[in-house]
Amino acid sequence: MTVGPSPFRVLAIETSCDETAAAVVDDGCTVISSVVSSQVDLHARYGGVVPELASRAHVELIVPIVTEALEAAGLDRRGRPLTAGAAVPEGPAVRAVAATIGPGLVGSLLVGTSVAKSLAMAWGVPFVGVNHLEGHLYACLLEKPDLELPVVVLLVSGGHTMLIEMEGPGSYRVLGRTRDDATGEAFDKVARYLDLGYPGGPAIDRVAGEGDPRAVSFPRAWLDGSLDFSFSGLKTAVVNHVRAHPDVSTPDVAASFQEAVVDVLVSKAFRAAEDVGARGVCLAGGVAANSLLRARAQRAGKDAGLPVYLPSRAMCTDNAAMIGAAGYFSLMRHGPSGWGTGVDAGMGFEAAADRLAG
């Protein structure tokens, strides 16, 4: 028997890149189910995501993945509770469907958005389009709903690198961003150059463990006085160093590169937190799974007497639970997205602009 007001249940879909994901989230903060199918093996032999293959895989996977997420939440294919007796959680029917509408690969975004709209229309519930970057910010809140705000979120993914002050759901201020490559992109490109395979971030993370981070002193782009980042010079420095020293140890290069990246990320995140008087620092995005980044952020937090929140690795990388959380709060504040809402491959964080503070 359900006691108290019934939660607002959202089905969320994420297909912006190479993960097909669906989740059921209650009241924007309780994950009832979350299913992620990674296409990493499909793209590995090409050394990166092949957009057309990604879209085709989403078409094949989306219905099975959505069905799995619904079933794990005790729901049938109409988004309604399964009949009693099933060994599944009890709960209400789905009341809205959310999907990532950008940024990402256009063909991939179209799959999730079209399926989400169709389900919303068939079930007679609202559709809500979600900015993928805004979704990443909810990793922290989903796993620690009592987080003291405001926090500075270091969002480091394959496509973006940003420092964002988050005062609460829907209230954000961009403090810094990359001027060229995203952090994950730098990891992926350096890994490809070092023949470490794809995806590059986890490969460098692994190999760096066997290397000496002080072996090569790579440059750090501090961009004095700014909270922006730049990684393209570091990437070029790695290439130049390896060309000049063909016998250099790959683990040493990987470790020294990772050290340079993490050094700048952590310093700037804590400077940002001090500047705005934040109550904590959160990591988000795929690169937040990096072991050195997690360890250094924790140490810096201890030194600064500031809480640091590290989402689980599964919550750092792309998933639909974060889209469900962002979708719920967007729906509560701004209402449903129109049925004519399209996808936007290059959608900036400012597309959540009506929600940007200051």
**Binding stretches for ligand KG4 (CB under 6 A):** 17, 157-159, 184, 187-188, 199-202, 205, 285-287, 289-290, 317-318
20 binds Zn ion (CB under 5 A): no
Torsion sign (Cα): 215, 221, 227, 229? negative
Q: Output the CA–CA distances (angstroms, integers) from residue 75 to 46, 100, 137, 167, 324, in the order listed.
A: 38, 22, 27, 34, 16
39 binds Zn ion (CB under 5 A): no
Q: Closest distance between ligand KG4 and the C-beta of residue 288, in Å? A: 8
Closer residue to Zn ion, CB minimum distance, 108 or 157: 157
Q: Closest distance between ligand KG4 and the C-beta of residue 122, in Å? A: 29
Shortest CA distance to 278 belongs to which of 310, 307, 312, 300?
Answer: 307
- Residue 24 class from Cβ within 10 Å (0-12 exposed, 13-18 middle, 19+ buried)? buried
Q: Output the CA–CA distances (angstroms, integers) from residue 293 to 300, 349, 352, 355, in the order listed.
A: 10, 23, 27, 29
Q: Closest distance between ligand KG4 and the C-beta of residue 143, in Å? A: 16
Closer residue to ligand KG4, CB minimum distance, 134 or 205: 205
Closer residue to ligand KG4, CB minimum distance, 33 or 39: 39
Closer residue to ligand KG4, CB minimum distance, 170 or 286: 286
User: How does DSSP classify residue 342?
Assistant: -
Burial track 111-148 (b if 16+ CB lie within 10 A, e otherwise): bbbbbbbebbeebebbbbbbbbbbbbbbbbbbbbeebe
At 155, phi and psi to the nearest 5?
-100, 110
157 binds Zn ion (CB under 5 A): yes
Q: In this chain, which of 178, 318, 322, 324 binds Zn ion, going by CB under 5 A?
A: 318
Closer residue to ligand KG4, CB minimum distance, 33 or 290: 290
Q: Closest distance between ligand KG4 and the C-beta of residue 183, in Å? A: 7
Closer residue to ligand KG4, CB minimum distance, 165 or 318: 318
Q: Of these partners, Zn ion, ligand KG4, none, which one is at the site of residue 287 (CB under 5 to 8 Å by kind)?
A: ligand KG4
Q: Which residues bind Zn ion (CB under 5 A)?
A: 157, 318
